[in-house]
Structure 1
């Protein structure tokens, strides 16, 4: 690389971006700098690279032209695991900026760098190459996958890892590279073919026996036995990393292409996964490095139902996982890994319609797999039991504490776990007490709007909890109006779903009904106003739902909303054509076949009939008086009470409205209906309401006859 002769002189300042770039590389190649200085130079280089794409389009010469293979080698050298974390982190950012700016030229330089380093074949070159690959996989996976598949590369790792004298750094760097390669399945089959045997040697063979055999069979060794043993063994960190890589490859079925080796035996793989899972569980109490490996290994192992059962029924392991979650740094890989384990342990199978089940079976037959047999350990009963064990381990409190600082990915896992735990109704009160409502509301507001699936999961879990608890006990630190928008989002169809699932809609209506009940203290008018302002159009649409339970839930919500006079007039009393239509709908609901629907509609009518304008609309309907008196004749005591209150309200109005109501009720044989109602009823409140209505009605008839 050509560099200015006075590149390090403070007297000469670079005048162009190319000169600045060369000066920075000269500083980075000098060495002997403080870590902070090196990181600062890398940060400045990153800034120049990030600006390059924009400036080069404006006819400014790109700095990529002065970055040769030695420069690339310099940047990648700072990705070495032996470098301080602050330098490695900044080198990663610089690498990303370089690849974005260099395009195809950068890909060629990366390929050249790896081929050169691997050909040198020294321990130092292996370490730098493997560390650079580990950093590059998340940035340029396709490029690195192509390099992994380069002929001879993966086969060359076996002799390296089986060398007599071990290098902890080489082993660790190699396995970390393979672990990064497992980010996606593109490399799984190739790693399985060329690496699985030597990885299993590292993982499952007894290192003491292996070293003893070496000393007995190789008599030409000149090194003293004391101190040499560790150099002949694989280090514990390498064994742990190998176990994680093996688990990533084998936890899911390996899809082998033609001529890529023999398919793994299922029974053998399952047995080894169980062994490793127990080993990972024991490692949770080890050093921090081993804990990270243990968590990551368990995260992949628990994708299998049999391992979920094994982990969930190990009380000590669950408690260690909870403690690990509580102590994990915020937004860390460790935090996400533990959350992934709990998400696997508690995840229910998605609900399928009969049509979806048939389609899945047909696809299985088409793939010559026969009718699929669901794993019995994945059914709802086993998941419910695992949720119980996880909850008893104290995970809910830990989730609540992590919810405010978690990354978006971790927050999605928290939402998933809380959603599964909330399925069991008896647990919802405890979840609310431990802060689940606050976490779910925060998650719904924090997750990006385009992340529709996790936001709906959060909203549905929130709905389940709010159905079963008294809002007064929940909303002490946040206003209950904060829960309305998440619940309302469930009233519309999920745009990502092929078929509509009405359960979230039903649960949202039930939760809104609970909020609108006014149980949070006072008259709940602020909450009712917020619900009507935010959600009335969606609520009204559900009144026409073809699903009886959804329709009933919508009517029950309306019944609670109209306990507030302001909202009653807003919905039914503004004199508009829409208001008149709504009155007709509620009146029709009072004549529905379902008793619960009639009860909710009757409750709504008992409230709205106290207003003159609405009362007039009610009695003017062709069957209005008949439907209302039908409530009075009902076999249900509660419905008779509602009917009596409606009649009493209607005939108690003064002027034309009261007169018209009495005429309509007389014409519909109201006296007989109320008399029958009084005879059937046993509750004092019902009898009192009926008697009062009957007295007013008879008084009105006598006055009419006297005139």
Structure 2
């Protein structure tokens, strides 16, 4: 392609196709500074990005002038020997080209790959393998088609077993296999054609390695030759990459052809020379002794820790855990190293999903139907083992590092961080320390930063926040963070998840407890909670789940400690306020059975009847057919001193109201047997506060009579 010249000053600007030809001419020249190359690749990417829409409007596509030489030019910038910044921009450019050129682009890239492989030089292998590993995430269907082409994979073994080694060829080849293992069919093919020589690389003779080190000591320049073709052995980095590929194969065992899908997992695993446990020990040793290869060890462990035995072994290795935390601490934000390290901690701390009764029965039926007769949960993944692993991860100092990464990480990394904090918050003993180390601020900021479409992750963050706030003193937690900033996240999970397949009330229950804790602080918090969640809280007073109903009533009890909220919700005399009073009365009734629910409802009635400026609640109790009987039922309770105290206070509050309301209250309570009930209450009680409330009520009743 001849290089077009730039338009002279004052001339009309170049068209899109002319600009494209000029850019390719510059990129083909070579010898440019990296900044110039990056700028040209960026401009070309923008042209290709806009090409799709412009083509739909009738413009001629610039991809029509991009021939095989142009594709070769872009692809060569994906070479591992190029600077990282150049490779990154070339990746974006390749992605834009494949989107714009569609089938023609896929065809040209396929032709480029196989033409390079057929040439068979070290340089061609490096470029071809680098292109394959780079475009795998971009066009997995195309890359897997190239990868699975008959006769390709079987050529890699002889290449890797050559007497004279090229480190770059081997590295590029293994990076391609590493990317391919993300695809199920490709992973099976790697298992079939490559596993033998991968194990040979990992298990090369250490005595021979020592001999080669002696040779290098005598001739330091030997290993520095271009391409390392003088080397008869695989380099340490190549060994590490091979171990990572093997870990991906071992972490997800293949199912032999013809086997049943419900066969016992232990029977499906094929014999292996190098087990996943062996590989994990290699990775942890590498992590501690050779931090330069942290990326390989972390990636390998991210897959190895899918297996429960590996999780358990790593969790008990304090030195390796601390090294992992240190690796995460120094890892660049939004990097593969950060994501890999976070994935390891997610694997270590992940609890098994809670099973409802129907799910348990279904699992049992599957177990009975299994050919092997058993399909039982892994004991190393039960709650007790996971809780212990969480404790060890926490003790390794993970929380401050997570807080730091949450401020700069990607949405994907933030999701992993939330998962780890969520798991750690399952242990009540850790919640106070999590709050001290910044987990509350982390979760509030994450919930606020995540878009609404990330609803599942936001709910996880809110539930972890709720757990921590259940067990901690708000006055200590919110010294630097505004307390009300936690209310919206907590309010978001008061209602059950409408998108969930099964109705899980645990987030609802935990959020109610956390909000109750916040509502115990001041009227500002109470007002904010009522604004954010009152409709959902009120609905949960009717919940068929007794624990949820109790938690909702306890929250209401704390909310009406605010005179403003008591008046707004119960004291305005509207039919809806009267209905709310009837609901609280019903929950205070002896028929409610649950002592905690009755206690919370009695506490709410005590606060509501004390508001002399708003007698609507007293009027509602008196008007209720069983209102007086319910209140006196609290006084007569045989078991709970607290219920008797609440009943006595409610009676005293009701009869101390002035005017017609107080008169009707006295008459109604006397007719319902208030004197006898209060006398009985005094005899059963040992608390001075209860006796004092009873005496005060009797003085008013008897004096009035």
For the 8 Å contact 2:164–2:229, the answer to whether it is kept is no
2:655 & 2:273 partners in 1: Cα distance? 76
Aligned to 2:484: 481
Aligned to 2:263: none
1:416 & 1:172 partners in 2: Cα distance? 33
Aligned to 2:216: none
Q: 2:356 aligns with which of 353, 357, 360?
A: 353
Aligned to 2:437: 434
- Residues 287 and 8 (structure 1 numbering): CA distance in 2 closer, same or farther, change over 3 Å? farther
Matched, 1:91 2:94: no
Aligned to 1:190: 189
Aligned to 1:640: 644
* 1:614 to partner: Cα distance: 1.4
Aligned to 1:580: 578
1:75 & 1:207 partners in 2: Cα distance? 41
Aligned to 2:249: 249
Residue correspondence of structure 1 range 324-403 to structure 2 within 5 A: 324-363=327-366, 368=371, 370-403=373-406
For the 8 Å contact 1:111–1:147, the answer to whether it is kept is yes
Post-superposition Cα deviations, 1:101-152, rounded to whole Å, max 9, x if no partner, equal: 1111111111111111111111101101111111101111111011110011
Q: CA RMSD in A?
A: 2.3
Aligned to 2:680: 676
For the 8 Å contact 2:523–2:562, the answer to whether it is kept is yes
* 1:460 to partner: Cα distance: 1.2
- Residues 226 and 439 (structure 1 numbering): CA distance in 2 closer, same or farther, change over 3 Å? closer
1:525 & 1:331 partners in 2: Cα distance? 42
* 1:615 to partner: Cα distance: 1.0
1:229 & 1:190 partners in 2: Cα distance? 28
Aligned to 1:232: 232
Post-superposition Cα deviations, 1:136-188, rounded to whole Å, max 9, x if no partner, equal: 01111111011110011111111111111000100000111111112232311
Give the match's secondary structure for 1:231.
Answer: coil
Residue correspondence of structure 1 range 258-297 to structure 2 within 5 A: 266=269, 268-269=271-272, 272-285=275-288, 289-297=292-300
Matched, 1:443 2:441: no
TM-score, normalization by structure 2: 0.93
Aligned to 1:602: 602
2:663 & 2:43 partners in 1: Cα distance? 87
For the 8 Å contact 2:366–2:375, the answer to whether it is kept is no
Aligned to 1:521: none
For the 8 Å contact 1:634–1:640, the answer to whether it is kept is yes
Residue correspondence of structure 1 range 492-511 to structure 2 within 5 A: 492-511=495-514
Give the match's secondary structure for 2:550.
Answer: helix
For the 8 Å contact 2:4–2:21, the answer to whether it is kept is no
2:661 & 2:272 partners in 1: Cα distance? 81
* 1:389 to partner: Cα distance: 1.1
Aligned to 1:217: none
Post-superposition Cα deviations, 1:58-102, rounded to whole Å, max 9, x if no partner, equal: 221110000001100100000001111121111111111101111
Post-superposition Cα deviations, 1:269-311, rounded to whole Å, max 9, x if no partner, equal: 4962112111111211455651000001011110011001100
For the 8 Å contact 2:256–2:268, the answer to whether it is kept is no
Post-superposition Cα deviations, 1:460-480, rounded to whole Å, max 9, x if no partner, equal: 111111111110111122212
1:491 & 1:270 partners in 2: Cα distance? 52
> Which stretch shifts more, 15-24 or 441-450?
441-450
- Residues 200 and 61 (structure 1 numbering): CA distance in 2 closer, same or farther, change over 3 Å? same
Residue correspondence of structure 1 range 675-694 to structure 2 within 5 A: 675-694=679-698
For the 8 Å contact 2:254–2:269, the answer to whether it is kept is no
Residue correspondence of structure 1 range 21-40 to structure 2 within 5 A: 21-40=20-39
1:9 & 1:289 partners in 2: Cα distance? 52
For the 8 Å contact 1:583–1:618, the answer to whether it is kept is yes
> Which stretch shifts more, 419-428 or 543-552?
419-428
* 1:576 to partner: Cα distance: 1.5
2:274 & 2:140 partners in 1: Cα distance? 32
For the 8 Å contact 2:346–2:420, the answer to whether it is kept is yes
Matched, 1:662 2:666: yes
Q: Specify every segment of 5 or more residues in structure 1 that has no aligned partner in the other structure, as ranges.
A: 214-222, 519-523, 702-707
For the 8 Å contact 1:345–1:386, the answer to whether it is kept is yes
- Residues 464 and 443 (structure 1 numbering): CA distance in 2 closer, same or farther, change over 3 Å? same
Q: 1:537 aligns with which of 535, 548, 556?
A: 535
- Residues 414 and 528 (structure 1 numbering): CA distance in 2 closer, same or farther, change over 3 Å? same
> Which stretch shifts more, 405-414 or 666-675?
405-414
- Residues 688 and 559 (structure 1 numbering): CA distance in 2 closer, same or farther, change over 3 Å? same
- Residues 497 and 271 (structure 1 numbering): CA distance in 2 closer, same or farther, change over 3 Å? farther
Aligned to 1:125: 124
Aligned to 2:699: 695
* 1:362 to partner: Cα distance: 3.5
Aligned to 1:216: none
